[in-house]
Amino acid sequence: MKNFYTFFCKIYVLICLTKSSKLLLSFRNQQNFRPKKVLLPAFQFLFLCFVNIQANSQTLDWSSSFSPAWTDGSVSGTATNVSGFGTNVSVSVNNSQAGTYQQVTTGVNAPAVNTNNGRSNFFILAGTTDALEIDVNWTSNTAYVDVIYNFSQPVYNLSFRVGDIDKAGPSSTTYFDRVTITGQNGATAVLPQTITPVNASGNYIVISGNVVHANTTAGVGGNANTNSTATSSQQGTAEISFASQAVTQVTVRYDNHPSSQANPALQAIAIGNMSWLSAPLPVDLISFVGKAVDDNAWLKWKVENQVNFEQYEIEYSPLDSNHYTVVGKVYSNNQSAGTYEFTHLNANSYGNVGYYRLKMIDRDGSYKYSRIVSVRFKDGTNVNVRPTIMSKGEVIHITVTSPLSNYGVKIVNTNGQLVESKTMNGTGLQIETSKYKAGTYFIQIEGLAVRRIYKVLIQ
């Protein structure tokens, strides 16, 4: 469709120019003839075609962009004419310690792609259909893997996600995943403008400048459960954005924080699909913040360089950072710069977190998204799970004090397998444990804008 659009533009301009030439010949001897009035429509349309074609969004898709396709264990590949707009990308994966790649799952050597999130025992990153998983077992905490992207032409508004940046357990020191992102625009170094956690709960990751690493403090973070697109499983995932900067090369270095043990254990991360624009959009988002005022979300953002800019759409998600609806629009009013404010009455005011982002739309229809801002609201829900340590056969009592009454309750074992599922239609529920094996279980309680997890031990 995009190629058809390009072809149509060329044909239309050719027609306009042909007609303009004929008009020039027929009117060249007439008085008051102004050639620019004849040529203007053609050149205006040519400019619009150029803007629309050149500023298109492109995505480097791990499962479909490479030719030949990326195979299990490959360490290089080339994506030609990404999304049909002429950008070629070569990717190489360099391991400083030979022989340390591991199998992602039985018979599948890393680096390997989770095609369309359809392969079992692979990491899944929210917001991307594919991910390149890198599993290693280094014998030195100074070893590293570099994933290097080289672009055939400058790209803009480059963004991607890296997931499962974690450690073996809350107090473990066997390894501390660390990712460092650097870029180049020709010979000029560029760094990401923002790196943000997809799910900040649990303090799994620490972000400092262009570096993301597993939290090295004992008793926080742990082994991220990156096995679904739900935000709750993305505690070890970070989103990287270079914003409006031009980029010709990106390097993602994967290694260990120096606090890890000298001989780390098996560890792994995943890198999602990468998106960009072939030309910068005419707006720079300087800041975007939000806070709760009673049951309202108060959002404020500051911008510069609003050239031919149309509007901001405010998008809201009550439960996670993957499913949004438009809750308002703010127009630029032809200002080149400005500070904007927006207030949203949180529809699920009993929930504790709302997610917001801006869709920034140019007059030609091009757009980009801001980073995600989370706003924490007052939580009117009190949950009590007792006992949390018990003998087999004891009853677990769950009580909820809330303006809402319907909750789903799931009991999950330490392997992530669903053991039992119940519905709480009221304020209390009892769970009989005589049928459970001894061990640790997680009780997940979910309702409208509420999600709680409790750990219980059956002895």
Last residue of a domain, one of 54, 74, 95: 54
Coil/strand/helix, residue 332: coil
Determine the pLDDT at residue 454.
83
Query: Domain end: 21, 36, 54, which one?
Result: 54
Six token digits for residue 225: 């459960």
Residues spanned by the domain of 451? 382-458
The domain that holds 306 is classified in CATH as 2.60.40.10
Together in a domain, 272 and 336:
no
Q: 3-class SS at 120?
A: coil
Same domain as 267, residue 360 = no
48 and 82 belong to one structural domain? no
pLDDT at 385: 87
**22 and 62, same structural domain?**
no
Residues 266 and 386 in one domain: no
Tens-digit pLDDT profile for residues 110-119? 999 999 999 9
Residues 233-271: tens digit of each pLDDT: 999 999 999 988 999 999 999 999 999 999 999 999 999
Q: What residue ranges in 167-283 does DSSP mark as E strands?
A: 177-185, 188-190, 194-197, 205-208, 211-214, 238-241, 247-256, 267-277
C-alpha–C-alpha distance, residues 59 and 3, integer Å: 16
Whether residue 36 is found in the same domain as residue 148: no
Same domain for 128 and 260, yes or no, is yes
CA distance 148 to 156: 17
- Count the domains in the chain: 4
Does 134 lie in the same domain as 66?
A: yes
Domain final position from 325, 352, 376: 376
Do residues 151 and 241 share a domain? yes
Lowest-pLDDT range, 36-45, 353-362, 372-381? Answer: 36-45
Q: Are residues 81 and 201 in the same domain?
A: yes
371, 390: one domain: no
- Please name the amino acid found at residue 308: N
Q: Among 74-78, 227-231, 382-386, name the one with the lowest average pLDDT.
A: 382-386
